[in-house]
Amino acid sequence: MSDAAPALSSDPLPPAAAMPATKLDATAKLNLVLLAGFWIWLSAELWFEWMVSDQYGYGLFVPFLTAYLVWLRWASRPPPKPWGGQKMALVVAGLAALAQYPIAVIFAANADWRLLAWGEALLAMMASAAILARWGGWRWVRHFIPALMLLLFAVPWPSRFEIALVDELMTGVATVVTEILNLMGYDAVRQGHVINLPGSTVLVEEACSGVRSIQYTVMAGWLVGEWWRFGAVGRLGLLAWASATAVLFNLLRTFSVAWVDATQGPAAMARWHDPAGYLVFALSFGTVITGAWWARPKAKNALPAIGTTLPGAPPHWMPKGTVMALLVLLAGAWPASAAWYAARAPNVSEKSRWTLNLGAAAPSAKPIKPSSDVEQVLFFDDGLQSGWTDDSGHNWSLYNLQWARARAAQLGGVHSPESCLPAVGWYMAQQGENLDWKRGGLEIIFNTYEFVHGPTHLFVFYGQWDPAGYHYYEKTGRFRSDRLLDAWQADRKQGKQLLEVAIEHASSLAEANQLMRQFLDQGIVETPPPDAVKK
């Protein structure tokens, strides 16, 4: 039989020799556990983001779908022709397992470092290819890798690429919808990602841009392509079809809610916003599946029953002792990382904490829980927001967010005024000197900004703080050296807080600074260190 069995092909396999079903012995099961172990490790690292992120929530189901696809592939596996000796598989799998030790330490302080997650995914793929080649040769590699690749669609996109794509799509969607509304006779003006209508505004968010839909519809495209065993060209076509479908339906969604706003008002638009999102979700999936069904390969693969033994040599399983050693090596990275952070984490037991007494600083302010949109982006554990006008006519708005979980603190808090406000039409006139507020053993340092929107000036104070005293105010972004240093110092950002205050109608940044200091003097309550409370 020819050794050229394309992995992404719909060519039917030759009929299998009917032989009695055989059960996997202990060595075979251990080999399968080793292969799964690398992907379980990757899934465990990403599980928290899948749990808290609305954008990547679909990732919770992807490992189980991948396991099912591999199970289906097992039924149609080609006859094994083991390639190479044990040494090659042992070296590649061993190096991939050893690499998990520094990865676990670095990832624990950098859950938002997506290039690290992609590096781990590529290591898992390399280890899988080496193990599969050992078991059944390169034909097994080509046969099983397409099913394993589904997990790659649940790895969060690199931040720079995602942010650039999100910005382009939001701008594009807002521009197209604005032009359509103007052609229909409605007075619509785009500013950044905002569509201004008479008496109201429509914000084009990440969900409306189609990015979220692109991510899970592209995953669905690969899933149905694997289900119907599309060839390589067909799968690329499915991914393009899924992307175009997501953007088109989200463009229609944004237009529909903007049109409802223009014709029936903001209240009606608010009622339609979420149902329109659910409808887009269903239509996107339905359209992708319908297109895949229509274009599916017409030839049927000859799929032998699960457990059937195919002609050729049996799989060349790695010895039980070798596999056990690799599994112990792989599993040891978790306790090693925990020991690293237990031994090196900053001692914050003697550091003061603080809370915000909003009622004392602004009696007229009414705190409310931040919106679900904010929670889905920043992943905070607790928080409040408020807006009020003081006796001097200054308009205030405030966010105070807290992160109890380290990984949530790393994933959240990455949206800053200089990136968010320009997206909704504000121009940054200046970034002033930092405001350094101190009391007793407590210090909070704020970045200060002046933004302009038409005749309106907005003065923004943005302060991030944690008990370890990380210098957030020096960082508009994080470099690789910062991330590696955080891992070396075992700083996970646990107990992080954010206080963001915006003041409107102040005459200057100097006046806004004075108002902010008065607010902090009245509203910040220093709490004693945990060790002091115990004593």
Chain segment 407-438, per-residue pLDDT in tens: 999 998 667 898 888 877 899 999 999 999 99
pLDDT of residue 528: 82
Cα–Cα distance, 276 to 202 (Å, whole number): 14
Burial group, residue 364, by CB count within 10 angstroms (0-12, 13-18, 19+)? exposed
- Could you list the beta-strand ranges (E) of 442-515: 442-453, 456-465, 496-504
DSSP-assigned letter for residue 464: E
Backbone phi and psi for residue 297, each to the nearest 5 degrees, phi listed first: -60, 135
pLDDT of residue 1: 35
Cα–Cα distance, 460 to 426 (Å, whole number): 12
Beta bridge partners of 205: none
pLDDT of residue 19: 35
pLDDT of residue 425: 81
Fold of 353-534: Protein Transport Mog1p; Chain A (3.40.1000)
Cα–Cα distance, 215 to 348 (Å, whole number): 40
Write the CB contacts of 398 (distance below 8 Å, at least 6 apart in sequence).
358, 365, 384, 385, 386, 387, 499, 500, 501, 502
The neighbour count for residue 107, using CB atoms within 10 Å, is 23
pLDDT of residue 75: 83
Listed as ranges, residues in the chain with pLDDT below 50 are 1-7, 9-22, 208, 301-308, 533
Write the CB contacts of 154 (distance below 8 Å, at least 6 apart in sequence).
46, 50, 56, 58, 59, 62, 63, 219
pLDDT of residue 482: 87
**Residue closest to 520 by CA, chosen among 458, 435, 441, 449:** 435
Cα–Cα distance, 179 to 193 (Å, whole number): 14
Write the CB contacts of 380 (distance below 8 Å, at least 6 apart in sequence).
370, 401, 402, 403, 408, 412, 413, 498
SS3 314: coil
Torsion of CA 201, 207, 213, 214, to 10 degrees: 90
Helix or strand (DSSP H, E) at 250: helix 232-264
The neighbour count for residue 183, using CB atoms within 10 Å, is 9
* Residue type at position 439: R
Cα–Cα distance, 494 to 378 (Å, whole number): 15
CATH 3.40.1000 maps onto the chain at 353-534
pLDDT of residue 420: 85
pLDDT of residue 416: 84
The neighbour count for residue 426, using CB atoms within 10 Å, is 24
pLDDT of residue 270: 79
Cα–Cα distance, 100 to 107 (Å, whole number): 10
Cα–Cα distance, 215 to 55 (Å, whole number): 8
pLDDT of residue 475: 67
DSSP-assigned letter for residue 14: P
